[in-house]
Amino acid sequence: MTFLNLDHISANPLAPEVKDAMIQAIQSDYHNPSSQHQAGEHAAGLLEDARQKTAQLLGARDPKEIVFTSNGTESVNHALKGVAYANKEKGKHIITSNIEHNAIHRSLKRLTSQGFKVTSLPVDEGGRVDPKEVEKAITEETILVSVMHSNNETGTIQPIEEIGKVVKDHHILFHTDAVDSVGLVPLDVQELHADLLSFASNTMYGPSGVGGLYIRQGTRLFPLLDGGTQENSKRAGAENLIGIIGHGKAAELALHNMDSRQKHLAHLKELLLSELPNYIDEYIINTNLDHSLPHLVNVSIKYIEGESVMLMLSEEDIAVATKSACATGSLRASHVLLSLGLSHADAQGTLVISFGQENTEEDVYRFLGALKNIVDTLRAMSPLYKKAYQATTQE
């Protein structure tokens, strides 16, 4: 069987053009972009080209506002800790939401242990943060608000433009973790009122190990990595030049192919959603379908364990996720799904299906067929299902 990737939220394949650009970079042995001789200047030019393309994708006014990092997690740590340490004289209060990625939650936990105070806002039944709640949470001490652009488990997109407006009306710094959005949905840092925006290249079919942080000119924050003068003195250390060259190509492709990519992904998602009831019953869609990423569906299948489904699909060479790959090793139910009001049992039955450019309609049907057999098998063994079924037949 050929491998079927329906877990693009964890890993996208590289775009063919990105592969070519990276292979060419590998074969070219570029020098250190910080070196002052011609070989160094040539490498620096390649770095700036990738920066320029990224700025264009985000609507940044100046490429210098883009800082390349090693992944979305580094970007998020840089934004949160950088702002906190540099602005603690002004106040030590930070506002966020209950559904953020672990990189946000754990960075804030670190800051809490250092005397910062965090208000974490709930989401409504649609999985979204209410901008009015953000406004209510603001105090004299608030130095930063950080709300994610789209959630990596449900795919639900937050009202960032409205939240950004509220935050900026109060002259507070605003960060959005857009790691799972940039390159998949059009966004613009001006429209979002973002002072800081985190992104990752793999979301746009660039390499894992390349991320970035948009830092609006004039934003006060400390670097996370202190040392040399790389990245306009905002992030020290030798650059992942091969990866960044690949990312530059990925950003260029994302800008040019945004519409067609979105259409393709949305079509597969709609097909999955419309066909799903023909294959299984008793499930809950946790994705807010009015506001969500074009490629992702989060579904809780009742009476069974998502992890068992995932492993049985894996036996058939089909990859899906159950929760964030970054939370692997944790046995707890997803904090994101519990925030939505899901029961522990239902949260455990969750699958995250995320499409990519290379997926086809056939892939949807292959997945649905495999899913039906697995769900039937697991429910036949499930005490929960038997109990529910007996309850129904006794009525």
* Residue type present at position 322: T
Distance (Å, whole) CA 204 – CA 251: 7
Q: Strands 142-146 and 93-97: what pairing?
A: parallel
Q: Which residue, 110 or 291, has its beta carbon nearer to its own copies?
A: 110
Three-class SS of residue 55? helix
Binding characters for its own copies, 180-219, by CB under 8 A (x = yes): --------------------x-x----xxxxx--------
Scanning 141-149, 187-195, 252-260, 317-325 for contacts with its own copies by CB under 8 A, the matching segment is 317-325
Structure tokens at 367: 């997945």
Among 17, 34, 98, 126, binds its own copies (CB under 8 A): 34
CB 207 within 8 A of CB 201: yes
Q: How far apart are CA 133 and CA 352, in angstroms?
A: 28
The enclosing H or E element of 80 equals: helix 72-87
Q: Which of residues 71-100 bind its own copies (CB under 8 A)?
A: 71-74, 76-77, 85
- Please name the helix (run of DSSP H) or strand (run of DSSP E) that holds residue 38, with its range, or none: helix 38-58
Name the residue nearer to its own copies (CB basis): 4 or 167.
Answer: 4
Q: Which is nearer to its own copies, 164 or 223 (CB)?
A: 223
CA-based nearest residue to 82, from 94, 64, 71: 94
Burial of 258 (0-12, 13-18, 19+ CB in 10 A): middle
Q: Please identify, using beta-carbon distances, which residue of 29 and 259 lies nearer to its own copies.
A: 29
Evaluate whether 15 touches 205 at the Cβ level (below 8 Å): yes
Q: Closest approach of Cβ 116 to its own copies, in Å? A: 13
Residue 323 Cβ vs its own copies, minimum distance, rounded to whole Å: 10
Q: Which residues are within 8 A (CB) of 274 and not within 5 positions of it... i.e. 6 or more apart?
A: none
Residue 210 and residue 199 in contact, taking contact as beta carbons nearer than 8 Å: no
Residue 283 tokens, joined: 């499930």
CB of 51 to its own copies, least distance (A): 15
Tell which one of 52, 56, 98, 102 touches its own copies (CB under 8 A): 102
Residue 280 buriedness (CB in 10 A; 0-12 / 13-18 / 19+): middle
> 104 to 133, contacts with its own copies by CB under 8 A?
104, 106-107, 109-110, 114
Residue 150, φ and ψ in degrees, nearest 5: -135, 150
Name which of 154 and 322 has its Cβ closer to its own copies.
Answer: 322
* Interaction of residue 357 with its own copies, rule CB under 8 A: no
Nearer to its own copies, 56 or 102 (CB): 102
Q: Cα(73)–Cα(103) distance, rounded to whole angstroms?
A: 6
- Listed ranges 189-197, 248-256, 265-273, 326-334: which one lies at the site for its own copies (CB under 8 A): 326-334
Stretch that binds its own copies, among 180-188, 324-332, 338-346, 381-389 (CB under 8 A): 324-332
Residue 230 binding its own copies, by CB under 8 A: yes
Residue among 11, 137, 326, 345 flagged as catalytic: 326
| Residue 193 bears catalytic tag | no
- Total number of residues binding its own copies (CB under 8 A)? 85
Q: Which of residues 248-267 bind its own copies (CB under 8 A)?
A: none
Q: Which stretch binds its own copies (CB under 8 A): 128-136, 189-197, 293-301, 314-322?
A: 314-322
Candidate residues 327, 333, 336, 371; the one interacting with its own copies per rule CB under 8 A: 327
Residues noted as catalytic: 326
